[in-house]
Amino acid sequence: MSVNKIIKRVTTTAIKEMKARGEKISMLTGYDYTMARALDEGGVDVILVGDSAANVVAGYETTLPITLDNMIYHAASVSRGTQRALVLADLPFGTYQGSTERAYDAAVRMMKEANVHAIKLEGGVEIIANIKQIIHAGIPVCGHLGLTPQSINQFGTFAVRAKEEAEAAKLKQDALALQEAGCFAIVLEKIPAALAKEVSESLQIPTIGIGAGSHCDGQVLVVNDMLGLTKDFKPKFLRQYLNLFEDISKATAQYVADVKSADYPNANEQY
């Protein structure tokens, strides 16, 4: 007799409850169906369809070139691969910083066409009206502060943000504004651990850190980095669990050798 296991989906409410009871939240990025299935089976709470797809999937230097259509394609693929994880998708650069109507339309397209559960936007008070409009439509929004890669041309560097008092004060103000606007969580990227601790303790909604220390309510990593697929990228905050780039290169070399030597396919590997 087969017993069908009922898998309960992680919701934005469940994410907020995790903070309330002191349970850390796990998030990884994902960009395709097959990886999403593996991450979901591994029990990750949230799969972020990050615009880092521009870097690790498409090979661009920054996240700026990726389009809404590209992001919807990745997000829909991830959605089809998950049963349990909450699927959160980035809106790409240029789709939500302008008019409120355009931001709203982009968010609605992402929800309708990719079947995700929430969206993430980079920025604070400057985009708060657009965030409120999206939330009013019933779309859960996750904020993103600190190193916001869509602003790399303003920053000029991927170095740690908010080390100076003025930028730290602005970040704290932005975090409160995002909470008041109704965001369900905030990603804090590459800021001092002490600042992330202060922000996390001051908010009711969870913070998810990347390079922001151990006091955040959860952690996120780019899956390609964490699996060792991204060659020669080892920032201090990264814990690399596998070395897949090397494993794949080795497996490829073995396959090539097997084909060249006519070892593959053998008698059991043909019809």
Distance CA 72, CA 90 (A): 9
- Angle, vertex CA 89, rays to CA 83 and CA 92, nearest 5: 160
Assess 218 for contact with ligand KIV (CB under 6 A).
no
Catalytic residue, chosen from 165, 189, 198, 201, is 189
Phi, psi of 49 (to 5 degrees): -85, 85
Assess 29 for contact with ligand KIV (CB under 6 A).
yes
Piece of 10-18, 45-53, 64-72, 238-246 that binds ligand KIV (CB under 6 A): 45-53
Report, in Å, the least distance between residue 213 CB and ligand KIV.
15
Burial grade of 235 (CB within 10 A; 0-12, 13-18, 19 or more): exposed
Q: With the C-alpha atoms ordered 149, 65, 26, 243, is the resulting torsion angle positive or negative?
A: negative
Active site annotation includes 189: yes
- Among 46, 47, 222, 229, the residue binding ligand KIV under the rule CB under 6 A is 222
Assess 207 for contact with ligand KIV (CB under 6 A).
no
Assess 141 for contact with ligand KIV (CB under 6 A).
no
- Among 10, 44, 50, 146, the residue binding ligand KIV under the rule CB under 6 A is 50
Distance CA 123, CA 130 (A): 11
Name the site residues for ligand KIV (rule: CB under 6 A).
Answer: 29, 48, 50-52, 90, 187, 189, 210, 220, 222
